[in-house]
């Protein structure tokens, strides 16, 4: 696969010249792609040149295709001798030379589409390798046949984690010529690789988190399951250990390779949280009978890939989250599949009063399953005949409401327990030693898992994860609680007012929404009543006047305390009235997505927000609206 490309830009073509081999030529007028051995344009025709490190893909907007290239990469480490990179910077290059053929409204929409793409990619978390398949765990890589290994990297990649699959389709679908060396599979998620030492023995510890491109999105605009069995926020996390022996140099090439895989994902039933500016969204839970087929499809695929499922549900057993626990338990009971082992651990109740050490109760409860489940272990000491010593036969699938904060804490706890068993097996730890007593290593380990929590959470909720003080230090602190409060307030603002735009970025980049040049009506046009449009301005002005009169009483122009207090009361009443109006008509102020239709929640139960009988099945995320005008 080409690692360094020289991009030549002329008024007629883009030419991507690799260090060796034929160049990729892209016609700017038609978007046609050809491969040529002698395509570098003369210097007099070159408008610009740059070095790029890979092609993210192509996307068609109103004016035609755009080329997306990686212009900077950051090396995050090596796995088994393969360099792993994070996308550092990129450029979105239009094939069209100008927008003169577009109307004013189309030009505005074109800029909006490009802005959505830029924001989505700038959000970060994109990783790739030219020679290592980041989308497959070590165990799944070991199961590849010689025929599969001979295939280009993108052909053997796991389609769920091939994040730029849609924008690469222009290259992939071209069957007339061989473009494989230009197709670079990029994964969204998290990769961190650390060299460590325990008992004087050096090894590499790595964490690879892969986010599925099916049913993706932001916190409240992507919930539950679709009819194909895809759940929101599905993530696979693999913990890797590479060890070459106590006298080996670092980084380890992996003479002994061990890995442990866990998954997380939204509760696999039809459900949603409907935001209306209130801090706690309105909960809607679909009828369990309608969720059954979708849940069966979900677990059939999970069992095919990972084996039997150990389901760990971490939501509360009472209050707001109770209906979700009941719906999940009822669905598992109705599936009646012996390959599903369901455990409900009320995280907040068990660990209240900052007793987070009680998570060990869950580990103890599932220890028999953990032992039976095992982990992957490949001994490649004999390079001519590497031997798989052990395989992981099942997987723990954890969830809370968001699959972020509680889930990451519990996953790190399971992974730490397994790591102790792994390091004992390869002789880094003694038979009675525990990794928790290796304080220097635990500092590294806890921070890797906390970084993972922040990376996954930022992509999904817009902020770092909650409860990472426990993950980083092993203790729950008051400072950590204050940081969680700050993150929660930030999430509230982003989830209510900014996530619609972020959701549009997901849908555009992943192809859930395809731009049609023939559509004349702008999808970004929002029509709100005048009374709704003026309320934010009234609130801002009322707050300004209240503060002004509080801190500069002389500006009020009144000459008695009674008049002054009445004036303050007036501006306070303006603010209170504006806030009450906004909360009463909260759905009119929310920043909704524009590109992909959401369910019509007005038809749901408006009083309790919970409808378990006769509910409406949400459409699949990614299903375009029947018409943009509608």
When pLDDT is averaged across residues 361-387 and rounded to a whole number, the result is 93
Average pLDDT, the chain: 91
Tens digit of each residue's pLDDT (9 = 90 or more) over 237-252: 999 999 999 888 888 8
Instruction: Report whether pLDDT(32) > 90.
Output: yes
- State yes or no: pLDDT of 216 exceeds 70: yes
**Are 515 and 624 spatial neighbours (Cβ–Cβ below 8 Å)?**
no
Residue for token digits 């900014």?
Answer: 498
> What pLDDT was estimated at residue 152?
95
At 228, list the tokens.
């194909």
Can you give the pLDDT at residue 622?
A: 39
| Backbone phi, psi, residue 338, to 5° | -65, -15
The H or E element containing residue 15 is: strand 13-18
Distance CA 458, CA 164 (A): 19
Assign 479 a pLDDT band (cuts: 50, 70, 90). Answer: confident
Q: Is the pLDDT of residue 598 over 90?
A: no
How distant, in Å, are the alpha carbons of 94, 448, 523, 627 from that of 516?
16, 43, 11, 12
Q: Which has the closest alpha carbon to 495: 462, 525, 464, 517?
A: 462
- Would you place residue 624 in the very low, low, confident or very high pLDDT band (cuts 50, 70, 90)? very low
User: Cα 43 to chain center, whole Å?
Assistant: 43
- Is residue 119 within 8 A of residue 501, CB to CB? The reply is yes
Confidence category of residue 528, pLDDT binned at 50, 70, 90: confident
Region 255-261: mean pLDDT is 97
| Residues 6 or more apart whose Cβ sits within 8 Å of residue 491 | 219, 461, 462, 463
pLDDT at 613: 36
CA dihedral 614, 620, 623, 625 (to 10 degrees): 30
DSSP secondary structure string, 258-326? EEEEEEE---SSSEEEE-SSSSSPEEEE--HHHHHHHHHHHHHHHHHHH-SEEEEE-S-SSGGGHHHHH
CA separation for the pair 269, 299 (Å, rounded): 12
As a whole number, mean pLDDT of residues 185-207 equals: 97
Q: What is the DSSP letter of 498?
A: I
Query: Residue 41 carries which DSSP code?
Result: P
Residue 230, Cα to own-chain centre: how many angstroms? 14
Q: How confident is the model at residue 559 (pLDDT cuts 50, 70, 90)?
A: confident
pLDDT digits (tens, 9 = 90+) for 444-469: 999 999 999 999 999 989 898 888 88
Give the integer Cα–Cα distance in Å for 446 and 408: 11
Confidence of residue 610 (pLDDT cuts 50, 70, 90): very low
Residue 157's pLDDT is 97
Q: Please write the tens of the pLDDT for every residue from 84-143.
A: 999 999 999 999 988 888 999 999 999 999 999 999 999 989 999 999 999 999 999 999
Phi and psi at 68, nearest 5°, equal: -115, 120
- The set of residues, in sequence order, having a beta carbon less than 8 Å from that of 470 and lying 6+ positions away, is 356, 409, 476, 480
The per-residue pLDDT for range 130-160, each reduced to its tens digit, is 999 999 999 999 999 999 999 999 999 999 9
pLDDT reading at 56 higher than 50 = yes
**In 28-81, where do the E strands start and end?**
33-36, 48-52, 55-61, 64-79
- Which pairs with CB-CB distance under 8 Å and at least 24 residues apart come from 297-303? 297/227, 297/228, 297/229, 298/225, 298/229, 298/230, 298/231, 298/268, 299/229, 299/268, 299/335, 299/337, 299/339, 299/340, 300/229, 301/229, 302/263, 302/395, 302/397, 303/339
The vertex-290 CA angle with 286 and 295, nearest 5°, equals 100
Q: Work out the pLDDT band at 397, boundaries 50, 70, 90.
A: very high
Other beta carbons within 10 Å of 579: 14
Mean local confidence (pLDDT), 148-177: 96
Question: How far is it, in rounded angstroms, from Cα 38 to Cα 536?
Answer: 60
The Cα–Cα gap between 582 and 588 comes to 8
**Strands 340-344 and 309-313, sheet pairing:** parallel
Assess contact for 441 and 197: CB atoms under 8 A: yes
Smallest CA-to-CA distance from 361 within 308, 314, 403 is with: 314
Do the beta carbons of residue 40 and residue 17 sit within 8 Å?
A: yes
Q: Identify the H or E element spanning 457.
A: helix 439-461
Cβ density class 183-220: b for 16+ within 10 Å, e for less: bbbbbbbbbbbbebebeebbbbbbbbbbbbbbbbbbbb
Cβ burial 440-455 (10 Å sphere, 16+ → b, else e): ebbeebbbbbbbbbbb
Neighbours of 428 (CB within 10 A): 25
Q: Which run of H or of E encompasses 238?
A: strand 235-243
Residue-wise pLDDT tens digits, 259-304:
999 999 999 999 999 898 998 999 999 887 889 999 999 999 999 9
Cis previous bond, 99, omega within 30: no
pLDDT in tens, 345-366: 999 999 987 787 889 999 999 9
pTM: 0.91
d(CA 386, CA 492): 51
Structure tokens at 362: 């869950």
What does the pLDDT read at residue 602? 52
Give the pLDDT score at 608. 40
pLDDT for res 547? 93
Other beta carbons within 10 angstroms of residue 126's beta carbon come to 20
The answer on pLDDT for 553 being more than 90 is no
pLDDT over threshold 90, residue 310: yes
Q: Is 578 exposed, middle or buried (0-12, 13-18, 19+ CB in 10 A)?
A: buried
Residue 629 confidence (pLDDT): 32
| 3-state secondary structure at position 568 | helix
Q: Which residues contact 289 (CB under 8 A, 6 or more apart)?
A: none
Instruction: In whole angstroms, give the CA distance from residue 113 to residue 92.
Output: 11
pLDDT at 399 > cutoff 80: yes
Determine the pLDDT at residue 517: 82
Residue 452 tokens read as 């993972």
Q: Which ranges of 143-207 would DSSP assign to H, the alpha helix?
A: 146-149, 153-156, 169-172
Q: CA-to-CA distance for 102 and 563, rounded, in angstroms?
A: 58
């Amino acid at each position: 696969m080409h690692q360094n490309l020289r991009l030549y830009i002329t008024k007629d073509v883009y030419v991507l010249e690799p260090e060796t081999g034929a160049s990729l030529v892209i016609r700017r007028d038609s978007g046609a792609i050809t491969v040529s051995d002698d395509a570098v344009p003369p210097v007099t025709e070159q408008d610009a040149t740059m070095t790029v490190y890979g092609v993210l893909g192509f996307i068609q907007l109103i004016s035609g295709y755009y080329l997306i290239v990686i212009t900077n990469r950051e090396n995050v480490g090596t796995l088994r001798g393969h360099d792993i990179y994070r996308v550092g910077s990129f450029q979105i290059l239009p094939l069209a030379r100008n927008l003169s053929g577009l109307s004013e409204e189309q030009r505005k929409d074109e800029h909006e589409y490009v802005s959505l793409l830029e924001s989505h990619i700038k959000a970060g978390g994109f990783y790739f390798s030219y020679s290592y398949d980041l989308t497959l765990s070590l165990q799944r890589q070991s199961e590849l046949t010689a025929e599969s290994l001979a295939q280009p990297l993108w052909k053997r990649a796991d389609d769920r984690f091939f994040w730029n699959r849609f924008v690469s389709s222009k290259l992939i679908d071209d069957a007339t010529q061989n473009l494989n060396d230009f197709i670079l599979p990029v994964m969204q998620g998290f990769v961190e690789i650390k060299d460590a030492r325990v008992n004087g023995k050096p090894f590499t510890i790595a964490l690879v988190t892969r986010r599925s491109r099916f049913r993706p999105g932001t916190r409240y605009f992507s919930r539950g399951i679709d009819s194909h069995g895809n759940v929101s926020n599905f993530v696979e996390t693999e913990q890797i250990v590479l060890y070459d022996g106590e006298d080996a140099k670092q980084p380890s090439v992996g003479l002994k390779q061990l890995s442990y895989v866990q998954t997380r994902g939204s509760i696999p039933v039809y459900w949603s949280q409907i935001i209306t500016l209130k801090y706690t969204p309105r909960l809607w839970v679909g009828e369990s009978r309608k969720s059954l087929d979708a849940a069966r499809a979900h677990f059939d695929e999970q069992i095919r890939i990972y084996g039997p499922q150990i389901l760990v549900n971490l939501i509360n057993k009472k209050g707001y989250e109770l209906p979700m626990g009941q719906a999940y338990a009822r669905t598992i009971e109705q599936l009646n599949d012996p390959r599903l082992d369901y455990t409900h651990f009320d995280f907040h109740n068990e660990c209240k009063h900052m007793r987070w050490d009680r998570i060990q109760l869950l580990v103890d409860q599932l220890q028999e399953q953990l032992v039976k489940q095992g982990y992957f272990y490949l001994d490649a000491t004999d390079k001519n005949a590497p031997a798989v010593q052990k395989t992981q036969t099942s997987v723990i699938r954890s969830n809370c409401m968001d699959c972020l904060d509680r889930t990451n804490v519990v996953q790190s706890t399971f992974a730490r327990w397994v790591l102790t068993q792994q390091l004992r097996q390869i002789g880094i730890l003694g038979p009675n030693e525990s990794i928790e007593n290796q304080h220097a290593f635990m500092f590294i380990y806890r921070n890797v898992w906390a970084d993972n929590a922040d990376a996954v959470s930022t992509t999904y909720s817009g902020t770092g994860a909650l409860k990472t003080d426990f993950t980083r230090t092993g203790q729950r602190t008051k400072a950590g609680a204050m940081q969680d409060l700050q993150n929660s307030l930030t999430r509230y603002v982003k989830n209510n007012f900014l996530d619609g735009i972020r959701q549009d970025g997901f849908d555009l980049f992943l192809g859930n929404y395809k731009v049609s040049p023939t559509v004349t009506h702008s999808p970004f046009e929002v029509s709100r009543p005048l009374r709704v449009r003026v309320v934010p301005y009234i609130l801002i002005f009322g707050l300004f006047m209240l503060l002004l009169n509080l801190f500069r009483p002389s500006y009020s122009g009144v000459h008695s305390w009674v008049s002054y207090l009445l004036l303050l009361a007036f501006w306070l009443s303006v603010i209170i009235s504006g806030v009450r109006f906004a909360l009463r008509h909260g759905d009119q102020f929310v920043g909704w997505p524009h590109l992909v239709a959401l369910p019509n929640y007005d038809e749901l139960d408006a009083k309790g927000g919970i409808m378990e009988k006769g509910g409406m099945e949400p459409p699949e995320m990614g299903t375009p609206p029947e018409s943009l005008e509608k």
